[in-house]
């Protein structure tokens, strides 16, 4: 396919995405997300309608390095806002993802391309085999040696793999430890790494090194994983809202008594446009 490619640029707490309405693939994601030679983004969202099994739409997530991601919390909020504005889909809606269907609700929509969106993110998983993490059982506050330092990690699956530490780490060390943990052989599919600091049982500060994207302004599934980890280690309580402050802003996360997680935060349309379709942007059959 040749010619111009239409796109929409969205951001959720500074985690930015290019949205397209067709299947393009990982090489296209690398080209479009390049901040010097392309549009620039943390990821590409392929949002197509209708979705399978009665879902309102399907969303395929590609990281900026061209690798696939099963799910992206901030991306889901952006996709839900996009569908209400462009696709004329009513809230609540169900989006099919690589991690299963997710229900999204636009809870406030003041207009001008901005909204508050709640996403039912599913149950946080602690089973190593399901996340996946090498070994058996759970990984809760387990020591891991990283570049000569020992960090205690809790592994959580949110449809994608996360490892969360509450040990004090400097911003410079996040950029060093993050990629080292992401590539540690104990995580056979790589891992998103959350560096959290509790303020009190209802609030925390979080920085996330995202698998395939690096440091980003915010990570929705990372905030959910950190909240699950906080509840699993006694730092927070199930059933209560935990406010997760990230460099890009704040998310409200509730871990229910049954482990199901709801994340609420803002999303905003940044701009729309067209871009020349390079040779790598060839739709998959």
Burial of 14 per CB tally in 10 Å (0-12, 13-18, 19+): middle
8-state DSSP, 220: H
Entry field: residues in the chain: 285
224 classed as catalytic: no
Q: Name the token pair of 235.
A: 């730092």
Active-site residue identified among 72, 78, 125, 224: 72
- Choose, from 78, 125, 219, 231, the residue flagged as catalytic: 219
Identify the three-state secondary structure at position 235. Answer: coil
- Told to judge if 72 belongs to the known catalytic residues of this protein, a careful annotator would answer yes
Q: Return the exposure string of 126-163: e unless at least 16 CB atoms fall within 10 Å of the residue's CB, then b.
A: bebeebbbeeeebbebbebebeeeebebbbbbbbbbbb
The answer to whether residues 106 and 91 touch, using CB atoms and an 8 Å cutoff, is: yes
Catalytic residue annotation: 72, 219
């Amino acid at each position: 396919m040749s010619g111009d490619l239409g796109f929409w640029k969205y951001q959720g707490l500074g985690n930015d995405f290019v949205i397209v309405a067709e299947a393009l693939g990982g090489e296209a994601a690398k080209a479009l997300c390049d901040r010097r030679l392309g549009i620039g983004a943390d990821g590409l969202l392929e949002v197509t309608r209708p979705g399978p099994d009665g879902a309102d739409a399907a969303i395929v997530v590609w990281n900026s390095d061209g690798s696939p991601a099963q799910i992206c919390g901030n991306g889901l909020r952006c996709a839900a806002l996009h569908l209400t504005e462009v696709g004329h889909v009513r809230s609540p809606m169900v989006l099919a993802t690589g991690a299963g269907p997710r229900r999204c609700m636009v809870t406030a929509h003041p207009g001008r391309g901005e909204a508050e969106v709640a996403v039912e993110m599913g149950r946080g998983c602690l089973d190593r085999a399901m996340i996946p993490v090498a070994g058996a059982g759970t990984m809760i506050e387990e020591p891991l040696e990283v570049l000569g330092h020992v960090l205690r990690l809790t592994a959580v699956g949110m449809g994608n793999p996360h490892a969360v530490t509450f040990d004090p780490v400097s911003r410079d060390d996040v950029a060093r430890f993050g990629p080292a943990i992401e590539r540690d052989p104990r995580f056979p599919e790589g891992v998103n790494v959350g560096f959290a600091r509790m303020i009190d049982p209802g609030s925390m500060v979080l920085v996330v090194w995202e698998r395939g994207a690096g440091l980003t302004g915010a990570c929705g599934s990372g905030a959910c994983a950190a909240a699950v980890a906080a509840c699993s280690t006694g730092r927070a309580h199930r059933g209560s809202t935990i406010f997760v402050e990230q460099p890009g802003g704040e998310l409200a996360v509730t871990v229910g008594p049954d482990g199901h997680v709801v994340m609420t935060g803002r999303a905003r349309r940044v701009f729309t446009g067209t871009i020349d379709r390079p040779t790598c942007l060839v739709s998959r059959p």
